[in-house]
């Protein structure tokens, strides 16, 4: 089975440009998470969706960041305009809340963003 | 602020030595998970602990959940170079109707051959 698929794997852009990161969760999973990883701050939860509905976006840094999940098989994270401090690895993860306690996350391979 | 703590962030061991790391939460957790991230890779789920005092083993790795469900430990017996990577704990904190999985900053383990 395919895991969580993210694109692009690498993106280099200039400050001020719009960046769109994409994620396809594992089929059948009903929760999707966007994380950002940096050396300084570690893994930070940006936003997560349950059944395509945003549940907690308190980790979204500011209005420049937005995330959507138009259907169960696709999500985007957009940064507009991008800034150098947005440089990080962005991970998408999905899980299934099938009623049992806890929910292991399956991470994609990440999108490494560099903003010059 | 950070509710799940992992200190230190780095540890170096000689191959064959045992290694133990701890994870502490300021609040009671409904469950705790451990993940491993190899250099350049992505976090991969290792295990989940749910019950107070629970102990689980995976080959040379032993995971324990504290009695108060506020801390956890990971012990690796006789480390090997394949154990290199960053180990994250993630605590599930329930607030109201929702739960939030909060990751610690991880501990990066290097193993000298």
More confident residue, B99 or B9: B9
Rg (CA), chain B: 14
pLDDT number for residue B56: 97
Partner residue facing B42 (CB), from A33, A42, A107: A107
**β-strand partners of B45:** B35
Q: Residue B104: how many CB atoms within 10 A of its CB?
A: 28
Q: What is the pLDDT of residues B19-29, one digit of tens each?
A: 999 999 999 99
Q: What is the pLDDT of residues B44-96, one digit of tens each?
A: 999 999 999 999 999 999 999 999 999 999 999 999 999 999 999 999 887 77
The residue among B70, B26, B30 whose CA lies nearest residue B48 is B30
Q: Is B37 exposed, middle or buried (0-12, 13-18, 19+ CB in 10 A)?
A: buried
**C-alpha A110, offset from chain centre:** 9
B-chain CB neighbours of A42 within 8 Å are 103-106
pLDDT number for residue A69: 97
What is the rounded distance in angstroms from the CA atom of residue A81 to the CA atom of residue A99? 39
Nearest CA in chain B to A35: B103
Chain B residues contacting A via beta carbons under 8 Å? 30-31, 33, 35, 41-45, 48, 50, 88, 90, 92, 98, 100-106
**3 state SS of B6:** coil
| DSSP structural state of residue B50 | -
Note whether A110 contacts B: Cβ–Cβ < 8 A. yes
- Per-residue pLDDT in tens (0 to 9) along chain A, 116 residues: 689 999 999 999 999 999 999 999 999 999 999 999 998 888 999 999 989 999 888 889 889 999 999 999 999 999 999 999 999 999 999 998 755 556 789 999 999 999 99
Region of residue B40 (left: phi > 0; alpha: psi -120 to 50; beta: else): left
Is the pLDDT assigned to residue B100 strictly greater than 80? Answer: no
pLDDT number for residue A13: 97
pLDDT number for residue A101: 55
A-chain CB neighbours of B33 within 8 Å are 102, 104-105
What is the rounded distance in angstroms from the CA atom of residue A104 to the CA atom of residue B7? 23
pLDDT number for residue A98: 58
Q: Do B42 and A55 touch (CB under 8 A)?
A: no
What is the rounded distance in angstroms from the CA atom of residue A6 to the CA atom of residue A42? 20
**3 state SS of B15:** coil
Instruction: Output the CA torsion sign for A102, B105, A2, A115.
Output: positive
């Amino acid at each position: 089975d395919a895991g969580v698929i993210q694109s692009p794997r690498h993106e280099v852009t200039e400050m001020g440009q719009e960046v769109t990161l994409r994620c396809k969760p594992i089929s059948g999973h009903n929760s999707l998470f966007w994380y950002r990883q940096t050396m300084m701050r570690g893994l930070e939860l940006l936003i997560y969706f349950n059944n395509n509905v945003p549940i907690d976006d308190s980790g979204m840094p500011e209005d420049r960041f937005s995330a959507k999940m138009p259907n169960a098989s696709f999500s985007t994270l957009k940064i507009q305009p991008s800034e150098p401090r947005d440089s990080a690895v962005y991970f998408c993860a999905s899980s299934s809340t099938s009623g049992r306690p806890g929910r292991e996350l399956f991470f994609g391979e990440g999108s490494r963003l560099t903003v010059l | 602020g950070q509710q799940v703590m992992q200190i230190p962030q780095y540890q170096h061991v000689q191959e064959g030595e045992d290694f133990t790391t701890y994870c502490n939460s300021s609040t009671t957790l409904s469950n705790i998970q451990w993940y491993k991230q190899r250099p350049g890779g992505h976090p991969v789920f290792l295990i989940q602990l749910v019950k107070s005092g629970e102990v689980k083993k995976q080959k040379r790795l032993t995971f324990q959940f504290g009695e108060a469900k506020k801390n956890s430990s990971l012990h690796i017996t006789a480390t090997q170079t394949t154990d290199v990577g960053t180990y994250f704990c993630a605590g599930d904190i329930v607030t109201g109707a929702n739960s939030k999985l909060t990751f610690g900053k991880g501990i990066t383990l290097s193993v000298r051959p």
